[in-house]
Structure 1
């Protein structure tokens, strides 16, 4: 039985009184406030937060080292990192949630937080996984269409990009990538925090995310830009920057959820 002050009360997927999340309109500058709060969470809970940061950085380095001779795969998997990010950052959401409730900043309880709503989180993970695989395949197709004879080596490829010799490839690659990024972002703005905090079902959580995007298009554009900018900054620092950037973004996503979704009314 849940405690009286627990925000996860009778709320389970089987609770017929569980309401659909009400989305609020927020200001255009709200994403900067979320980032600031994310930095505060990182400072207050540095050890568990940086643990996840090292995990993100380690995954990025492992991909780069393993596929260093196949940069076309690195490009697809690295950019797909943004698609899977909302699922991989669950532990960071839980750290922010625990700090918000005045609980200790501990790593151990965050490692298995997915068990709280395993079925719906698993369904959401499948959706993101399918998007990721489709993007990886689409990325390979774009490379194959523009490099029909032989793939250039990495130095030649980078040289072409810097000299802007293959603008058609860049337009196609980023155009396709933005489509998949938009779908992933629209479905995950508040989805995972909703499933963790309220045991909301996966479909309602994704619909609430789309609703947040539709009600706050300008704010969500700023938020998406900050996510891409900070993630890219982390990668450009040889993945080491991800140690700090990813925890900040994970914590900030929790605060975005708090601002975008009305507090739930406890059923009678």
Structure 2
């Protein structure tokens, strides 16, 4: 008769913790972006010093863009798009400031500087996606210039004059039409992506799908939100980048509140 073995049974395989559920996107009113801006202004006032630190970072980035623009104005739209594409990453600190204020924590700058480490792998994937969009648009921008200016490139003054006087309408329609397509894709993928990845450790794919869903379910509100972002950014550029010190943190804080309004909170266990 076989004797029972003294060898302990092998340990049961560890069960993987389930990831966060897919975000549920809500429908908001067309005027909701104005509410987000108002709440963002409240956060900016309450967390002025760390928020303005990020504002100065944006202003420095804008000045760098201006230097490049002087010598390569054919990249104007591409570089501006690049500025807006990088915006969500520079604004991560402002998202965290709004999150900390929401939770009753102090508005400290230091913890926000490395907030990306909370979900570095997925934020990295998202960065690659936006980086590819930017590189493709930069190449498309050059191709459009090459197609319409087969000879010598116009001077900067001549190029601006064409835009103001609406000359060469075929070129302007192609250039800004194609740029609008790339801007739409980048905006649609970014509406709530990074706040989701920071707040819930959501994966990059689900976050981007949720952003597209937010756009599709709220076209009116998203149109107003996009117009506000472009308008506030334009004010920053037109004030020789000084306005970016305030405008960009304001947009960052407002983006956090957009995320809170657009995405259903997780059910408390």
With the length of structure 2 as denominator, give the TM-score of the two structures: 0.91
The match for 1:77 among 76, 79, 83 is: 79
Matched, 1:155 2:157: yes
Q: 1:67, CA displacement in angstroms?
A: 4.2
Query: Quick one: which of 137, 156, 164 aligns to 1:135?
Result: 137
Which structure would you say has the larger Rg?
A: 2
Query: Residue 68 of structure 1 aligns to a residue in which SS?
Result: helix
SS in 2 for 1:239: coil
Separation (CA, whole Å) in 2 of partners of 1:81 and 1:66: 12
Structure 2 CA distance, aligned partners of 1:192 and 1:33?
Answer: 20
Question: Over residues 133-153 of structure 1, what are the superposed CA-to-partner deviations in whole Å (9 max), with x where a residue is unaligned?
Answer: 111111111111111101111
- Give the superposed CA RMSD: 1.3
Partner of 1:113: 115
Bigger Cα displacement from structure 2, 244-253 vs 74-83:
74-83
Q: What is the match of residue 172 of structure 1?
A: 174
For residues 245 and 88 of structure 2, what CA distance do their matches in structure 1 show?
Answer: 16
SS for the counterpart of 2:71 is: coil
Pairs within 5 Å for 1:7-18? 15-16=17-18, 18=20
- Contact kept? 2:20, 2:201, Cα under 8 Å: no
Q: Answer yes or no: is the 8 Å Cα contact 1:83–1:131 preserved in 2.
A: no
Q: Is residue 104 from structure 1 mapped to residue 106 from structure 2 by the alignment?
A: yes
Deviation at 1:216, TM superposition (A): 0.8
> What residue number does 1:184 align with?
186
Instruction: Pick the aligned partner of 1:21 from 15, 20, 23.
Output: 23
Q: Give how far 1:158 is off.
A: 1.1
Residue of 229, 235, 238 corresponding to 1:236: 238
Return the match for 1:87 from 89, 107, 110.
89
Whole-angstrom CA distance in 1 between matches of 2:190 and 2:165:
36
Once the two structures are TM-superposed, the CA of residue 15 in structure 1 deviates from its matched residue by 3.4
Please, which of 209, 212, 217 is the counterpart of residue 210 of structure 1? 212
User: How is 1:23-38 mapped onto 2 (pairs within 5 angstroms)?
Assistant: 23-38=25-40
TM-score (norm. length: structure 1):
0.91
| 1:259 counterpart (256, 261, 266) | 261
Matched, 1:126 2:128: yes
| Aligned residue pairs, count | 254
Alpha-carbon distance, 1:115 to partner: 0.2
Structure 2 unaligned spans of 5+: 1-15
* CA deviation profile, 1:195-245 (whole Å, cap 9, x unmatched): 000101111111111111111111111111111111111111112211111
